[in-house]
Amino acid sequence: MIARISFYVVAAVLIAAHFLRLGNMIGVALCLVAPLLFFVRQRWSLLLLQGLAYAAAAVWLMTAWQIAMQRWSFGQPWLRAALILTVVAAVSAVAGSLLRCKTMRVHYCDR
């Protein structure tokens, strides 16, 4: 369970770095505070954390698309940036899906 939570924290730090690059300090703060919801042993907190991870994956995919299109329109290489951001999106999606295991459900839902 510690490995799953740690993986989620890495995904949260990655999306916080994205918001930091954009200058969105509220987004940074929310992303860094979100993993504290692991201390709330309620079903809703686990579902919220999963939803946030999937939303982060969507943000990464939209960013990958925007950067790829911008670079493509200027005739610059775009594939490497798109691949990197797609892998980061996959990390966020996997972090969310790792929270769906039986161990997590028992710890958060079956109290």
Predicted pLDDT of residue 85: 97
Q: Can you give the chain as a three-state secondary structure string?
A: CHHHHHHHHHHHHHHHHHHHHHCCHHHHHHHHHHHHHHHCCCHHHHHHHHHHHHHHHHHHHHHHHHHHHHHHHCCCCCHHHHHHHHHHHHHHHHHHHHCCCHHHHHHHCCC
Question: Which residue type does 14 have?
Answer: L
Q: Model's pTM, two decimal places?
A: 0.91
Predicted pLDDT of residue 83: 97
Could you state, in order of their start, the residue ranges of all structural domains in the chain?
A: 2-108
pLDDT tens, N- to C-terminus, the chain (111 residues): 899 999 999 999 999 999 999 999 999 999 999 999 999 999 999 999 999 999 999 999 999 999 999 999 999 999 999 999 999 999 999 999 999 988 888 888 765
Distance CA 105, CA 97 (A): 12
